[in-house]
Chain A
């Protein structure tokens, strides 16, 4: 009965990333897209939040958005998974509902 939470804004610009993490329940999936991928780079201010979210949720980033911003997969917070557009569709289909943290 998982919820897919999508975040498309940088955590430095908007609070939607933190809000999303605050409203997950164990087993939920969080997907960073567009500027949302910025929170998944290791060493950033929000990296620890991503790590703690990984304790009971899965965290994904959309690879094309990562590449567009020059972030290598090796530069991600450990445990964050990359997916492509097909993987995005699979996640939406797998989850029972989607909440977009606009």
Chain B
């Protein structure tokens, strides 16, 4: 959808980007963002999530919080598909700087209603330049 259309017709879906830049558990940002995403999903907008800087740690696999007394909310990212949040952009440079690769991330998928419910990956690895471009194409950015 073109930006001017999105801004124009009332009721038209707007492009929302949640920018996640903090690792989980050290601060409350990651969990707060996830909760807002889940609540906001009810408004049926075009929702996308960006993971950059330490935010990539939010979706790494094998998180185990038993010994720090915090709830491990990483499994909840796998429910995003049920909430029709199916576009998760992860910055390649942010992974690389931290010694991570796409294989270190959880498998997050959605079932494509328009393709006979085929299971498809929600995670898209994008370059820093593409991430900047994605940000520049939004109607609304929510920063965490």
Chain B proximity of A58: nearest CB distance (Å): 15
Q: Are B141 and A22 in contact (CB under 8 A)?
A: no
Chain B residues with CB under 8 A of A96: 3, 139
Q: Judge if A49 is at the interface, Cβ distance under 8 Å.
A: no
Q: Are B141 and A19 in contact (CB under 8 A)?
A: no
Q: Are B141 and A97 in contact (CB under 8 A)?
A: yes
The count of residues in chain A whose C-beta lies closer than 8 Å to any C-beta of chain B is 17
Q: Are B135 and A23 in contact (CB under 8 A)?
A: yes
Interface residues of B (CB under 8 A from A): 3, 19, 21-22, 29, 52-53, 128, 131-133, 135-136, 138-141, 143-144
Interface residues of A (CB under 8 A from B): 1, 3, 15-16, 19, 22-25, 28, 96-102
A sample of 14 cross-chain residue pairs with beta-carbon separation below 8 angstroms, ordered by A number, consists of: A1-B3, A3-B135, A3-B136, A3-B141, A16-B53, A23-B52, A23-B135, A24-B132, A25-B135, A97-B135, A97-B138, A98-B141, A98-B143, A102-B144
